[in-house]
Structure 1
Amino acid sequence: MTSVQGTAVDIPTEDGVADAYLARPGDGTPRPGVLLYQDAFGLRPHLRAMADRLAEAGYTVLVPNVFYRHGRAPVVELPEFIDPAARPEIFETLYPIMLSLTSELTVRDAGAYLRWMEQSELVADGPVALTGYCMGARLALWTAGGHPDRVAAVGGFHGGHLATDAPDSPHRSAEHITAEVYLGHADNDSALPPEQMQRLEEALTTAGVRHTCEVYEGAQHGYTQADTAAYDEQGAERHWAALLDLLKRTFG
């Protein structure tokens, strides 16, 4: 098993400084880069563990606190186990912060994250991969559309609101995406009803994007997040297999 080193890093952006976590194999060799986009609960021990697992597989992984405009992570105090039904005030606090992160700000911030990775001696030359969870899947599609020359692959898992009527809905980025896209949708997800799944599929197909969209039957919105009540072990392991396959196809 590859030894992993994890460090806190600060990334200058056009609007301030984003705190982030960097995980990479311990030998210091430049590795293909992966930008990991958080769910609503943000940068915390579980996401660091996910980054470490990707680093063990041979990648340099950056996990930015995308809510940095509202403070360093954790932006809100979180329990070790997150059950939104038991602690509704957590999501009530986070929801307006989520809404404030527009597509325009996301693409601008992504430019800073991608520049930082491009300049890092720990990231191999060439485009990077993205993986995003819940709201992070939305950020990943916006980023891939906004920086097509820098993104070679996109994984998105239990994403919500990916094909809405909004002018900046993520599915509208498809015409600009050059990366391969894999999306693992949660089953019976109120944030991504069947009509949005179909609209997203049609947008990717029409744009000629290499893509796979799969519904994980029985898995709830949030199924990859082991520190939450939505966690589904079978769905999470299926996600790891799909993501690592995507990265292997992309980087060899």
Structure 2
Amino acid sequence: MKEITRRNFIATATLATGFALAVQPVSAKVITTDTKGLVAGEVKIPVQDGEIPAYRAQPATGKNFPIVLVIHEIFGVHEHIQDVARRFAKLGYLAIAPELFIRQGDVSKLSSVNEIRPVVAKVPDAQVLSDLDATVAWAVNSGKGNVNRLGITGFCWGGRITWLYAAHNPKVKAGVAWYGRLVGDATELTPKHPVDIASTLKVPVLGLYGGKDTGITLDTVEQMRDRLKSSSSKSEIIVYPNAPHAFFADYRPSYREKEADDGWKRLQTWFKQHGV
């Protein structure tokens, strides 16, 4: 029997169809964005050790689109993240959401968060940042993306990565981090956290957080705000007092329509204000 190497695995991996198994049943409030007027679907991103799958959505006509990296939660690039990419495409962006866990496992097929967490814990930040660099290169090489108008947004796990990538890539014009963890232990796989890069951050990042988030305490949000004061980035953090974690996730019980709508409007304004 032929051994499946990591390179072979990621080269043959594909994106999830529908919603991740761990988030069933899906809420009746789920938002569905059609592909009318769009080019949307799976693409393969060349990376250092093969290819990773990504979901790309962009307007069907035109070129030189601003690029938005859409960074998934712990459930991977399932239907919700694909829909967010389509929402960006409807606004005129080339939105691309790479599957950043694929070497460690296919989280969309796991039935609980407790099964997913050990997979996510094995994902090195360095691998993620490298894959995002490769994703930006793909968008530019496609002939459709304008690297001078590059933005990033991410949710939960992806919210943390949004802060880190904004510090990593000076070409990023702006970021919007949705309820991403701000503090943590320094480990070999996660050497730095957002609070560690805050004071030297140069890219403006808007943080959107919930006051009732039991996993991201308000004292850590205040710690981040305090560190950001000494940066040149003009970053900001908004806290919605009554919102829980994952308040943008319209497919989950945590969804809060009012706060999600306000955050989405703030994201669009933030991107426009900073040239994305």
Q: TM-score higher than 0.5 here? A: yes
Two-structure CA RMSD over aligned residues (Å): 2.0
Cα distance in 2, alignment partners of residues 165 and 147 from structure 1 = 23
- 1, 5, 30: which one aligns with 2:64: 30
Q: Does the alignment pair 1:124 with 2:146?
A: yes
- 101, 105, 112: which one aligns with 2:123: 101
Question: Structure 1 residue 196: deviation in Å?
Answer: 0.8
How many residues align structurally?
A: 238
174 and 220 in structure 1: CA distance in 2 versus 1, 3 angstrom threshold: same
Cα distance in 1, alignment partners of residues 274 and 231 from structure 2 = 20
Cα distance in 2, alignment partners of residues 32 and 127 from structure 1 = 5
Cα distance in 1, alignment partners of residues 264 and 228 from structure 2 = 23
Q: Is the CA contact (8 Å cut-off) linking 1:146 and 1:176 kept in structure 2?
A: no
Moved more, 174-183 or 28-37: 174-183
Cα distance in 2, alignment partners of residues 46 and 245 from structure 1 = 22
Secondary structure at the counterpart of residue 145 of structure 1: helix
Cα distance in 2, alignment partners of residues 120 and 142 from structure 1 = 25
Deviations 1:3-53 (CA, angstroms, capped at 9, x unpaired): 222021011112332100001011132210000000111111111111111
Q: In the TM superposition, what are the counterparts of 1:47-58 in structure 2 within 5 Å?
A: 47-58=81-92
Contiguous gaps of at least 5 residues in structure 2: 1-33
- 1:8 maps to 42
- 1:61 maps to 95
Q: Is the CA contact (8 Å cut-off) linking 1:51 and 1:63 kept in structure 2?
A: yes
Q: Does the alignment pair 1:77 with 2:101?
A: no
- 1:143 maps to 165
Question: Structure 1 residue 202: deviation in Å?
Answer: 1.5
Q: Is the CA contact (8 Å cut-off) linking 2:66 and 2:94 kept in structure 1?
A: yes
Q: In the TM superposition, what are the counterparts of 1:193-204 in structure 2 within 5 Å?
A: 193-204=217-228
67 and 165 in structure 1: CA distance in 2 versus 1, 3 angstrom threshold: closer
Q: Is the CA contact (8 Å cut-off) linking 2:88 and 2:95 kept in structure 1?
A: yes
Cα distance in 2, alignment partners of residues 33 and 177 from structure 1 = 21
Corresponding letter in the other structure for 1:172: D
Corresponding letter in the other structure for 2:180: G
Deviations 1:177-233 (CA, angstroms, capped at 9, x unpaired): 322110111122222112211111122111222111011121111111111121111
Corresponding letter in the other structure for 2:136: L
Moved more, 163-172 or 120-129: 163-172
- 2:156 maps to 134
Cα distance in 2, alignment partners of residues 15 and 168 from structure 1 = 24
Corresponding letter in the other structure for 1:226: D
Q: Does the alignment pair 1:164 with 2:184?
A: yes
144 and 53 in structure 1: CA distance in 2 versus 1, 3 angstrom threshold: same
Corresponding letter in the other structure for 2:218: P
Secondary structure at the counterpart of residue 195 of structure 2: helix
Contiguous gaps of at least 5 residues in structure 1: 79-88
